[in-house]
Amino acid sequence: MDELEELNEGYAVREFADGLVIFGSDGGGTAYAFDTRYEETTIVEVPFIGIDLDEITKCSDTFTGFLEYLVSLPD
């Protein structure tokens, strides 16, 4: 948890996309995050460069659904 907090501070997530908690990436330009802005937390993707709440794509409401989303992505 400390490492996630430190990484989110390094990406200035609170400044540019308050309410997101980035937990991973696709190894390229896409970050995966928990969107905590609403009563129900969802899992979303957002570009690392230009992190912006307007650039969010919802992946799933559940972690299992998120994994299914990842599997469905084209290679």
pLDDT per residue as tens, the chain (75 positions): 889 999 999 989 999 999 999 999 999 999 999 999 999 999 999 998 888 899 999 999 999 999 999 999 987
Pairing of strands 57-60, 42-47: antiparallel
pLDDT the model gives residue 49: 87
Within a 10 A sphere around the Cβ of 17, how many other Cβ atoms?
24
Q: Does domain 2-72 match CATH 3.40.1580.10?
A: yes
**Pairwise CA distance, residues 18 & 12, whole Å:** 9
Nearest Cα to Cα of residue 7 among 20, 19, 23: 23
